[in-house]
Amino acid sequence: MGNVINFAHRGASAYCPENTLAAFIRSLELGATGIETDVQLTKDGELVLIHDETLMRTTDGQGWVKNTTLEEIRTLDAGSWYDPSFKGQRVPTLDELFELVKERNIIINVELKNGAVIYEGLEEKVIERIRAYGLSEQVILSSFNHYSLALCKQIAPDIQTGILYMEGLYEPWEYARTLRADALHAYHFAVYPEFVASAKGHGMVYHPFTVNDPEEMQRLIQAGVAGIITDYPDRLAALLQTTTNV
């Protein structure tokens, strides 16, 4: 149980503005052993880490990521919306995150944000950067767009993929096998011990999201999940330490 991956959701997003270097660095300080983030393409085809397809919620910019160049995005403040003390935080690139973790034993869950906007070439570009940094064994690609994950496996069968889904998917391990997926990134209410056992029997693991309540974390740890995605990596780290010491 001590080997459960502690994925910091968009970094330590309970304590810092999400998907910023401040959030990623803080997550490592709080005991995260994994980082979950979201990737999209700018107008000029650059890979940036931002959750929403538009800029308004997490920056002082306007419009769509797809209609904005990297140079323009880099001028935006991505921290003040969360707290004035984070003024000047920027929307990072995927390369910046990879630079941060390349010498660390950290698992990176890169969510491909290609649902509302279909980014042509997103899969190829992300995989090329993973290869460039030698991180093929440390990255899991996830998406709600399962066509995208199927394409990722065609391009790079050695890189792990995880299907994102909400509750109610019948025998998800059977479905995921058709995509050659490695993990089930399920909404946490869709995870039960018998499901985890069945998935393991089919060579698949669970990484449920987004789990912030310690009691729910404990339930999932006891169920045997392989990782948990949380806004509070410190809470999960404390629980995992307690569980390991029992």
> Domain spans of the chain?
5-245
Burial class (CB in 10 A: 0-12, 13-18, 19+), 200: middle
Q: Which residues touch 143 (CB under 8 Å, ≥6 apart)?
A: 111, 112, 113, 114, 115, 149, 163, 164
Tens of pLDDT, residue by residue over 193-212, are 999 999 999 999 999 999 99
Identify the pLDDT of residue 1: 41
Can 207 be counted among the known catalytic residues?
A: no
Identify the pLDDT of residue 243: 76
Tokens matching residue 236: 């999960």
Tens of pLDDT, residue by residue over 25-53, are 999 999 999 999 999 999 999 999 999 99
Among 140, 145, 170, residue whose Cα is nearest residue 34: 140
Task: Please give the average per-residue pLDDT across 224-240, as a whole number.
Answer: 98
Q: Does residue 74 carry a pLDDT above 90?
A: yes
Tokens matching residue 183: 């993990």
- CATH, domain range 5-245: 3.20.20.190
- Measured between alpha carbons, how far is 107 from 46 in angstroms, rounded to an integer? 22
Catalytic residue among 9, 185, 188, 207: 9
pTM score, whole prediction: 0.97
- Measured between alpha carbons, how far is 80 from 32 in angstroms, rounded to an integer? 24
